[in-house]
Amino acid sequence: MRLLIRGGHVIDPDTGKDGIFDVLVENGTISRVEKELSDMGAEPGDMRVIDGRGLYVMPGFVDLHVHLRDPGQEYKETLATGGRAAARGGVTTICAMPNTRPVTDSPEMIRSQSERAKAECPVHVSFVGAVTKGQKGEELTNMAAMKREGMRCISEDGKSVMDAKLYRKAMEIAAKEDILILAHCEDGNMIKDTVIVNESDFSRGLGLSGVTNGVEDIIAARDILLAKETGARLHLCHCSTKDSVEMVRLAKEAGALVTAEVCPHHFLLSDEDIPGDDGNYKMNPPLRKREDVEALVDGLKKGIIDVIATDHAPHSEKDKEGGFRKAACGIVGLETSLSLAMTELVHKGVLTPMELVKRMSLTPSRILGVDKGSLAEGKCADLVLVDPEREFVIRKEDFVSKGKNTPFDGKKVKGMVVMTIVDGEIVYDEKEGLLK
Protein backbone atom coordinates (compact mmCIF):
# COMPACT_ATOMS: atom_id res chain seq x y z
CA MET A 1 0.00 0.00 0.00
CA ARG A 2 1.28 3.42 -0.96
CA LEU A 3 0.45 6.43 1.15
CA LEU A 4 0.29 10.00 -0.01
CA ILE A 5 0.12 12.60 2.73
CA ARG A 6 -1.08 15.69 0.97
CA GLY A 7 -0.52 19.28 2.03
CA GLY A 8 0.81 18.70 5.55
CA HIS A 9 3.27 20.96 7.34
CA VAL A 10 6.48 18.89 7.26
CA ILE A 11 8.78 19.54 10.19
CA ASP A 12 12.01 17.62 9.80
CA PRO A 13 15.17 18.70 11.58
CA ASP A 14 17.29 16.29 9.55
CA THR A 15 16.57 17.87 6.16
CA GLY A 16 15.65 21.27 7.62
CA LYS A 17 12.25 21.18 5.90
CA ASP A 18 9.70 23.38 7.66
CA GLY A 19 6.79 24.06 5.31
CA ILE A 20 3.97 22.59 3.27
CA PHE A 21 4.96 19.45 1.35
CA ASP A 22 3.43 16.27 0.01
CA VAL A 23 4.97 13.06 1.30
CA LEU A 24 4.86 9.83 -0.67
CA VAL A 25 5.46 6.58 1.19
CA GLU A 26 6.22 3.45 -0.81
CA ASN A 27 7.43 0.01 0.27
CA GLY A 28 7.86 1.13 3.87
CA THR A 29 10.12 4.04 2.99
CA ILE A 30 9.77 7.74 2.36
CA SER A 31 10.12 7.93 -1.38
CA ARG A 32 9.40 11.58 -2.16
CA VAL A 33 8.91 14.81 -0.25
CA GLU A 34 8.00 17.60 -2.65
CA LYS A 35 5.73 20.55 -3.17
CA GLU A 36 2.47 19.48 -4.83
CA LEU A 37 3.55 15.96 -5.50
CA SER A 38 -0.13 15.10 -5.76
CA ASP A 39 -0.21 16.47 -9.28
CA MET A 40 2.73 14.35 -10.36
CA GLY A 41 2.81 10.97 -8.71
CA ALA A 42 -0.66 10.33 -7.44
CA GLU A 43 -2.54 7.57 -9.12
CA PRO A 44 -5.70 5.92 -7.88
CA GLY A 45 -5.61 2.25 -7.03
CA ASP A 46 -3.40 1.04 -4.29
CA MET A 47 -2.71 4.55 -3.08
CA ARG A 48 -4.29 5.86 0.11
CA VAL A 49 -4.43 9.63 0.13
CA ILE A 50 -4.31 11.28 3.55
CA ASP A 51 -5.39 14.88 3.96
CA GLY A 52 -2.54 16.49 5.87
CA ARG A 53 -3.87 20.04 5.73
CA GLY A 54 -3.59 21.73 9.11
CA LEU A 55 -1.42 18.94 10.47
CA TYR A 56 2.26 18.68 11.32
CA VAL A 57 4.00 15.80 9.58
CA MET A 58 6.93 14.78 11.74
CA PRO A 59 9.32 11.85 12.02
CA GLY A 60 7.93 9.36 14.57
CA PHE A 61 9.03 9.94 18.13
CA VAL A 62 11.83 7.93 19.72
CA ASP A 63 11.35 7.33 23.44
CA LEU A 64 14.55 6.26 25.16
CA HIS A 65 12.81 5.33 28.42
CA VAL A 66 9.90 2.90 28.60
CA HIS A 67 8.95 0.06 30.97
CA LEU A 68 7.01 -2.71 29.24
CA ARG A 69 6.77 -5.11 32.26
CA ASP A 70 6.93 -8.09 29.94
CA PRO A 71 7.95 -10.76 30.91
CA GLY A 72 6.79 -11.21 34.45
CA GLN A 73 4.30 -8.46 35.22
CA GLU A 74 1.93 -8.72 32.31
CA TYR A 75 -0.91 -7.51 34.51
CA LYS A 76 0.76 -4.07 34.35
CA GLU A 77 1.68 -4.03 30.62
CA THR A 78 2.72 -6.31 27.77
CA LEU A 79 4.77 -5.88 24.63
CA ALA A 80 1.47 -5.58 22.75
CA THR A 81 -0.32 -3.10 25.03
CA GLY A 82 2.79 -0.98 25.60
CA GLY A 83 3.42 -0.94 21.86
CA ARG A 84 -0.15 0.15 21.19
CA ALA A 85 0.19 2.91 23.78
CA ALA A 86 3.33 4.05 21.97
CA ALA A 87 1.50 4.06 18.63
CA ARG A 88 -1.29 6.15 20.15
CA GLY A 89 1.31 8.60 21.41
CA GLY A 90 3.08 8.99 18.07
CA VAL A 91 6.09 7.04 19.35
CA THR A 92 7.51 4.70 16.72
CA THR A 93 10.67 3.49 18.48
CA ILE A 94 11.08 2.71 22.17
CA CYS A 95 13.84 1.54 24.47
CA ALA A 96 12.48 -1.09 26.85
CA MET A 97 14.11 -1.05 30.28
CA PRO A 98 15.44 -4.32 31.71
CA ASN A 99 13.76 -4.34 35.15
CA THR A 100 11.43 -7.12 34.06
CA ARG A 101 10.89 -10.44 35.90
CA PRO A 102 13.30 -12.04 35.27
CA VAL A 103 15.64 -9.14 34.61
CA THR A 104 16.71 -8.77 30.98
CA ASP A 105 20.35 -9.65 31.56
CA SER A 106 21.37 -12.29 29.02
CA PRO A 107 21.85 -12.55 25.25
CA GLU A 108 19.11 -15.19 25.15
CA MET A 109 16.61 -12.77 26.66
CA ILE A 110 17.60 -9.96 24.32
CA ARG A 111 17.13 -12.32 21.39
CA SER A 112 13.80 -13.80 22.48
CA GLN A 113 12.37 -10.43 23.48
CA SER A 114 13.40 -8.88 20.18
CA GLU A 115 11.82 -11.74 18.24
CA ARG A 116 8.60 -11.50 20.23
CA ALA A 117 8.43 -7.72 19.78
CA LYS A 118 8.63 -8.07 15.99
CA ALA A 119 5.51 -10.24 16.11
CA GLU A 120 3.58 -8.61 18.95
CA CYS A 121 4.48 -4.96 19.08
CA PRO A 122 3.37 -2.41 16.47
CA VAL A 123 6.41 -0.16 17.01
CA HIS A 124 10.17 -0.73 16.95
CA VAL A 125 11.64 -1.83 20.27
CA SER A 126 15.28 -1.69 21.32
CA PHE A 127 15.74 -3.87 24.39
CA VAL A 128 18.07 -2.55 27.07
CA GLY A 129 20.25 -5.04 28.95
CA ALA A 130 20.95 -4.80 32.67
CA VAL A 131 24.41 -3.74 33.85
CA THR A 132 24.59 -6.46 36.51
CA LYS A 133 23.06 -9.93 36.64
CA GLY A 134 19.60 -9.78 38.16
CA GLN A 135 20.24 -6.06 38.84
CA LYS A 136 21.85 -7.21 42.06
CA GLY A 137 24.83 -4.89 41.71
CA GLU A 138 27.35 -7.71 42.11
CA GLU A 139 28.38 -9.30 38.83
CA LEU A 140 28.46 -7.69 35.37
CA THR A 141 26.33 -9.10 32.58
CA ASN A 142 27.89 -10.25 29.31
CA MET A 143 27.44 -6.96 27.46
CA ALA A 144 29.41 -7.96 24.36
CA ALA A 145 27.23 -11.06 23.89
CA MET A 146 24.04 -9.04 24.40
CA LYS A 147 25.30 -6.53 21.85
CA ARG A 148 25.71 -9.33 19.33
CA GLU A 149 21.96 -9.96 19.74
CA GLY A 150 21.22 -6.36 18.81
CA MET A 151 21.35 -4.63 22.21
CA ARG A 152 22.40 -0.99 21.96
CA CYS A 153 22.28 0.18 25.58
CA ILE A 154 22.62 -1.01 29.14
CA SER A 155 20.93 0.30 32.25
CA GLU A 156 20.29 -0.59 35.88
CA ASP A 157 17.16 1.58 35.78
CA GLY A 158 15.17 1.57 38.99
CA LYS A 159 18.42 2.03 40.90
CA SER A 160 22.11 2.78 40.49
CA VAL A 161 25.04 0.37 40.59
CA MET A 162 26.41 1.54 43.94
CA ASP A 163 29.80 -0.15 43.63
CA ALA A 164 31.72 2.54 41.73
CA LYS A 165 34.59 0.18 40.91
CA LEU A 166 32.20 -2.29 39.31
CA TYR A 167 30.39 0.49 37.43
CA ARG A 168 33.71 1.81 36.16
CA LYS A 169 34.51 -1.65 34.81
CA ALA A 170 31.08 -1.69 33.10
CA MET A 171 31.84 1.69 31.54
CA GLU A 172 35.21 0.48 30.25
CA ILE A 173 33.53 -2.43 28.50
CA ALA A 174 30.71 -0.19 27.23
CA ALA A 175 33.27 2.24 25.80
CA LYS A 176 35.15 -0.58 24.07
CA GLU A 177 31.96 -2.17 22.69
CA ASP A 178 30.36 1.21 21.85
CA ILE A 179 27.35 0.55 24.08
CA LEU A 180 25.34 3.46 25.45
CA ILE A 181 24.76 3.66 29.22
CA LEU A 182 21.36 4.88 30.42
CA ALA A 183 21.93 6.02 33.98
CA HIS A 184 19.29 6.17 36.71
CA CYS A 185 21.08 8.33 39.29
CA GLU A 186 20.11 7.61 42.88
CA ASP A 187 22.32 7.01 45.89
CA GLY A 188 21.06 3.73 47.32
CA ASN A 189 22.46 4.49 50.77
CA MET A 190 20.89 7.92 51.06
CA ILE A 191 17.39 6.59 50.39
CA LYS A 192 17.45 4.03 53.21
CA ASP A 193 14.48 4.58 55.55
CA THR A 194 12.99 7.25 53.28
CA VAL A 195 9.87 7.47 51.17
CA ILE A 196 10.33 8.57 47.53
CA VAL A 197 8.94 12.09 47.77
CA ASN A 198 10.86 15.36 47.70
CA GLU A 199 11.83 16.55 51.16
CA SER A 200 9.53 19.55 51.53
CA ASP A 201 6.69 21.06 53.51
CA PHE A 202 4.47 18.56 51.73
CA SER A 203 6.47 15.52 52.88
CA ARG A 204 6.86 16.90 56.41
CA GLY A 205 3.12 17.56 56.51
CA LEU A 206 2.49 13.88 55.86
CA GLY A 207 5.11 12.92 58.43
CA LEU A 208 7.31 11.33 55.76
CA SER A 209 11.07 11.26 55.62
CA GLY A 210 11.64 12.34 52.00
CA VAL A 211 14.66 12.54 49.71
CA THR A 212 16.79 15.55 48.77
CA ASN A 213 18.34 16.56 45.45
CA GLY A 214 21.66 15.20 46.68
CA VAL A 215 20.36 11.65 46.23
CA GLU A 216 20.40 12.25 42.47
CA ASP A 217 23.19 14.80 42.18
CA ILE A 218 25.87 12.75 43.94
CA ILE A 219 25.47 9.84 41.54
CA ALA A 220 25.07 12.09 38.48
CA ALA A 221 28.43 13.66 39.38
CA ARG A 222 30.04 10.28 39.96
CA ASP A 223 28.74 8.85 36.70
CA ILE A 224 29.85 11.87 34.68
CA LEU A 225 33.35 11.62 36.17
CA LEU A 226 33.52 7.91 35.39
CA ALA A 227 32.33 8.53 31.83
CA LYS A 228 35.08 11.12 31.41
CA GLU A 229 37.68 8.70 32.72
CA THR A 230 36.57 5.75 30.61
CA GLY A 231 35.35 7.48 27.45
CA ALA A 232 31.96 5.77 27.77
CA ARG A 233 28.81 7.30 26.25
CA LEU A 234 26.59 8.22 29.18
CA HIS A 235 22.96 9.29 28.99
CA LEU A 236 21.41 10.58 32.22
CA CYS A 237 17.84 9.34 32.61
CA HIS A 238 15.02 11.49 33.98
CA CYS A 239 17.04 14.50 35.21
CA SER A 240 15.03 16.24 37.90
CA THR A 241 17.34 18.69 39.67
CA LYS A 242 18.84 22.07 38.78
CA ASP A 243 22.33 20.87 39.62
CA SER A 244 22.04 17.86 37.33
CA VAL A 245 21.36 20.29 34.46
CA GLU A 246 24.40 22.33 35.46
CA MET A 247 26.56 19.22 35.67
CA VAL A 248 25.48 18.11 32.21
CA ARG A 249 26.36 21.56 30.91
CA LEU A 250 29.83 21.38 32.44
CA ALA A 251 30.36 17.80 31.26
CA LYS A 252 29.53 18.77 27.68
CA GLU A 253 31.80 21.80 27.91
CA ALA A 254 34.59 19.49 29.04
CA GLY A 255 34.01 17.26 26.01
CA ALA A 256 32.58 14.23 27.85
CA LEU A 257 30.17 12.05 25.85
CA VAL A 258 27.25 12.94 28.09
CA THR A 259 23.62 13.49 27.10
CA ALA A 260 20.50 13.91 29.21
CA GLU A 261 16.76 13.47 29.21
CA VAL A 262 13.87 15.03 31.07
CA CYS A 263 10.35 13.62 31.48
CA PRO A 264 7.17 15.67 30.98
CA HIS A 265 6.16 15.33 34.64
CA HIS A 266 9.46 16.80 35.77
CA PHE A 267 9.34 19.84 33.48
CA LEU A 268 5.68 20.41 34.23
CA LEU A 269 4.99 19.72 37.89
CA SER A 270 6.72 20.71 41.11
CA ASP A 271 6.19 19.33 44.61
CA GLU A 272 3.84 22.27 45.20
CA ASP A 273 1.44 20.81 42.62
CA ILE A 274 0.88 17.61 44.59
CA PRO A 275 -2.75 17.87 45.73
CA GLY A 276 -2.56 15.39 48.60
CA ASP A 277 -1.46 11.89 49.54
CA ASP A 278 -2.08 10.55 46.03
CA GLY A 279 0.10 7.74 44.64
CA ASN A 280 -0.35 9.06 41.10
CA TYR A 281 2.12 11.81 42.03
CA LYS A 282 4.72 9.33 43.23
CA MET A 283 7.56 8.57 40.88
CA ASN A 284 11.32 8.15 41.08
CA PRO A 285 12.96 10.65 40.96
CA PRO A 286 10.21 12.62 42.71
CA LEU A 287 8.66 15.93 41.70
CA ARG A 288 11.11 18.61 42.83
CA LYS A 289 11.02 22.29 43.72
CA ARG A 290 9.75 25.04 41.43
CA GLU A 291 13.36 26.24 40.89
CA ASP A 292 14.32 22.77 39.66
CA VAL A 293 11.39 22.73 37.22
CA GLU A 294 12.49 26.13 35.89
CA ALA A 295 16.07 24.88 35.44
CA LEU A 296 14.84 21.83 33.53
CA VAL A 297 12.74 23.97 31.18
CA ASP A 298 15.69 26.29 30.69
CA GLY A 299 17.95 23.27 30.05
CA LEU A 300 15.53 22.03 27.39
CA LYS A 301 15.39 25.44 25.77
CA LYS A 302 19.17 25.78 25.65
CA GLY A 303 19.68 22.22 24.43
CA ILE A 304 21.66 21.22 27.54
CA ILE A 305 18.92 18.66 27.99
CA ASP A 306 18.94 16.77 24.71
CA VAL A 307 15.87 14.62 24.92
CA ILE A 308 12.31 14.32 26.19
CA ALA A 309 11.58 10.74 27.28
CA THR A 310 8.62 9.44 29.25
CA ASP A 311 9.82 6.85 31.82
CA HIS A 312 6.47 5.22 30.98
CA ALA A 313 5.95 3.15 34.13
CA PRO A 314 2.60 1.37 34.09
CA HIS A 315 1.26 -0.07 37.36
CA SER A 316 -2.07 -1.59 38.35
CA GLU A 317 -4.54 0.41 40.38
CA LYS A 318 -3.81 -1.78 43.39
CA ASP A 319 -0.05 -1.22 43.10
CA LYS A 320 -0.66 2.54 43.27
CA GLU A 321 -2.85 2.42 46.37
CA GLY A 322 -1.83 3.48 49.88
CA GLY A 323 -0.62 7.02 49.19
CA PHE A 324 3.06 7.97 49.17
CA ARG A 325 3.99 5.46 51.88
CA LYS A 326 2.89 2.39 49.97
CA ALA A 327 2.35 3.17 46.28
CA ALA A 328 4.76 1.86 43.63
CA CYS A 329 6.87 4.53 41.91
CA GLY A 330 6.07 5.67 38.40
CA ILE A 331 3.46 7.02 36.03
CA VAL A 332 2.47 6.22 32.45
CA GLY A 333 3.63 8.63 29.78
CA LEU A 334 3.52 7.29 26.22
CA GLU A 335 0.02 8.53 25.44
CA THR A 336 0.41 11.99 26.92
CA SER A 337 3.96 13.15 26.18
CA LEU A 338 3.35 14.87 22.84
CA SER A 339 0.24 16.68 24.06
CA LEU A 340 1.89 17.80 27.29
CA ALA A 341 5.01 18.98 25.46
CA MET A 342 2.95 20.83 22.84
CA THR A 343 0.87 22.51 25.54
CA GLU A 344 3.63 23.44 27.95
CA LEU A 345 6.60 23.97 25.65
CA VAL A 346 5.46 24.82 22.12
CA HIS A 347 2.29 26.79 22.79
CA LYS A 348 4.04 28.66 25.60
CA GLY A 349 6.92 29.59 23.31
CA VAL A 350 9.69 27.63 25.07
CA LEU A 351 10.47 25.43 22.04
CA THR A 352 9.63 25.78 18.37
CA PRO A 353 7.91 22.76 16.79
CA MET A 354 11.25 22.05 15.07
CA GLU A 355 13.10 22.05 18.40
CA LEU A 356 10.44 19.79 19.88
CA VAL A 357 10.90 17.23 17.10
CA LYS A 358 14.64 17.34 17.69
CA ARG A 359 14.16 16.53 21.39
CA MET A 360 11.57 13.83 20.75
CA SER A 361 12.82 12.21 17.56
CA LEU A 362 16.07 13.12 15.81
CA THR A 363 18.34 13.54 18.83
CA PRO A 364 17.18 10.44 20.75
CA SER A 365 17.51 8.50 17.50
CA ARG A 366 21.11 9.66 17.11
CA ILE A 367 21.91 8.95 20.76
CA LEU A 368 20.51 5.44 20.37
CA GLY A 369 22.40 5.04 17.11
CA VAL A 370 19.45 4.11 14.90
CA ASP A 371 18.68 5.51 11.48
CA LYS A 372 15.36 7.11 12.48
CA GLY A 373 14.11 10.58 13.25
CA SER A 374 14.30 11.77 9.66
CA LEU A 375 11.95 12.39 6.76
CA ALA A 376 14.72 12.37 4.16
CA GLU A 377 13.90 10.47 1.00
CA GLY A 378 14.90 6.82 1.29
CA LYS A 379 14.51 6.69 5.08
CA CYS A 380 12.23 4.25 6.84
CA ALA A 381 8.67 5.60 6.89
CA ASP A 382 8.08 6.11 10.61
CA LEU A 383 5.91 9.20 10.82
CA VAL A 384 3.47 10.98 13.03
CA LEU A 385 0.71 13.41 12.13
CA VAL A 386 -0.06 15.95 14.83
CA ASP A 387 -2.91 18.43 14.99
CA PRO A 388 -1.26 21.35 16.79
CA GLU A 389 -4.51 23.21 17.46
CA ARG A 390 -6.69 20.36 18.65
CA GLU A 391 -7.76 20.80 22.27
CA PHE A 392 -8.93 17.92 24.41
CA VAL A 393 -9.03 16.66 27.96
CA ILE A 394 -6.73 13.77 28.94
CA ARG A 395 -8.86 10.92 30.22
CA LYS A 396 -7.18 7.85 31.63
CA GLU A 397 -10.09 5.65 30.48
CA ASP A 398 -9.03 6.43 26.91
CA PHE A 399 -5.53 4.97 27.42
CA VAL A 400 -4.76 1.77 25.59
CA SER A 401 -1.93 1.11 28.03
CA LYS A 402 -2.94 -1.18 30.86
CA GLY A 403 -1.58 1.48 33.20
CA LYS A 404 -4.01 4.26 34.08
CA ASN A 405 -1.65 5.77 36.63
CA THR A 406 -1.28 9.40 35.66
CA PRO A 407 -1.47 12.71 37.51
CA PHE A 408 -2.70 14.32 34.26
CA ASP A 409 -6.18 12.78 34.20
CA GLY A 410 -8.62 15.64 33.53
CA LYS A 411 -5.93 18.04 32.28
CA LYS A 412 -6.85 20.15 29.27
CA VAL A 413 -4.18 20.07 26.56
CA LYS A 414 -3.66 21.46 23.08
CA GLY A 415 -1.96 19.33 20.42
CA MET A 416 -2.96 15.80 19.49
CA VAL A 417 -1.48 12.83 17.68
CA VAL A 418 -3.93 11.94 14.93
CA MET A 419 -1.99 9.31 12.99
CA THR A 420 1.08 7.15 13.47
CA ILE A 421 2.82 5.27 10.69
CA VAL A 422 5.49 2.59 11.23
CA ASP A 423 7.45 1.18 8.28
CA GLY A 424 4.89 2.70 5.94
CA GLU A 425 1.90 1.13 7.68
CA ILE A 426 -0.73 3.03 9.61
CA VAL A 427 -0.61 1.67 13.18
CA TYR A 428 -2.82 4.35 14.73
CA ASP A 429 -5.56 6.50 13.29
CA GLU A 430 -7.44 8.71 15.69
CA LYS A 431 -10.61 8.56 13.62
CA GLU A 432 -10.58 4.79 13.21
CA GLY A 433 -9.03 3.93 16.55
CA LEU A 434 -6.05 1.62 16.81
CA LEU A 435 -5.41 -0.40 13.73
CA LYS A 436 -2.69 -2.69 14.96
| Site residues (vs ligand DOR, CB under 6 A) | 67, 99, 157-158, 184, 283-284, 311, 313, 329-330
Q: How far is the CB of 253 from Zn ion (least distance, A)?
A: 26
Q: How far is the CB of 237 from Zn ion (least distance, A)?
A: 5
Q: Whose CB is nearest to ligand DOR?
A: 330
Select 242 or 266, whichever has its Cβ closest to ligand DOR: 266
- The one segment of 71-79, 102-110, 152-160, 340-348 that binds Zn ion by CB under 5 A: 152-160
Amino acid identity at 316: S
Q: How far is the CB of 417 from Zn ion (least distance, A)?
A: 22
Binding mask of the shown chain, residues 173 to 212, with x at each position contacting Zn ion by CB under 5 A:
-----------x----------------------------
Residue 367 binding target from ligand DOR, Zn ion, none, CB below 5 to 8 Å by type: none
Q: How far is the CB of 103 from ligand DOR (least distance, A)?
A: 11
Is residue 156 at the binding interface for Zn ion, with CB under 5 A as the rule?
Answer: no
Neighbours of 74 (CB within 10 A): 15
Select 68 or 383, whichever has its Cβ closest to Zn ion: 68
The alpha-helical segments, DSSP class H, found in 241-396 are: 242-253, 264-268, 290-302, 323-326, 337-341, 353-357, 363-368
Of 284, 231, 268, nearest in space to 347 by CA: 268
Select 183 or 247, whichever has its Cβ closest to ligand DOR: 183
**Cα distances (Å, whole numbers) of residue 192 to 48, 202, 282:** 57, 20, 17
Is residue 223 at the binding interface for Zn ion, with CB under 5 A as the rule?
Answer: no
Burial 117-144 (b: 16+ CB within 10 A, else e): beeebbbbbbbbbbbbbebebeebbebe
Residue 283 binding target from ligand DOR, Zn ion, none, CB below 5 to 8 Å by type: ligand DOR
Residue 175 and residue 233: Cα distance in Å, rounded?
7
The alpha-helical segments, DSSP class H, found in 72-182 are: 79-88, 107-120, 143-148, 164-177
Residue 311 and residue 79: Cα distance in Å, rounded?
15
Burial 240-260 (b: 16+ CB within 10 A, else e): bbbbbbebbbebbeeebbbbb
Select 117 or 329, whichever has its Cβ closest to ligand DOR: 329
Catalytic residue IDs: 311
Select 65 or 152, whichever has its Cβ closest to ligand DOR: 65
Is residue 311 at the binding interface for Zn ion, with CB under 5 A as the rule?
Answer: yes
Could you list the residues that contact Zn ion (CB under 5 A)? 157, 184, 311
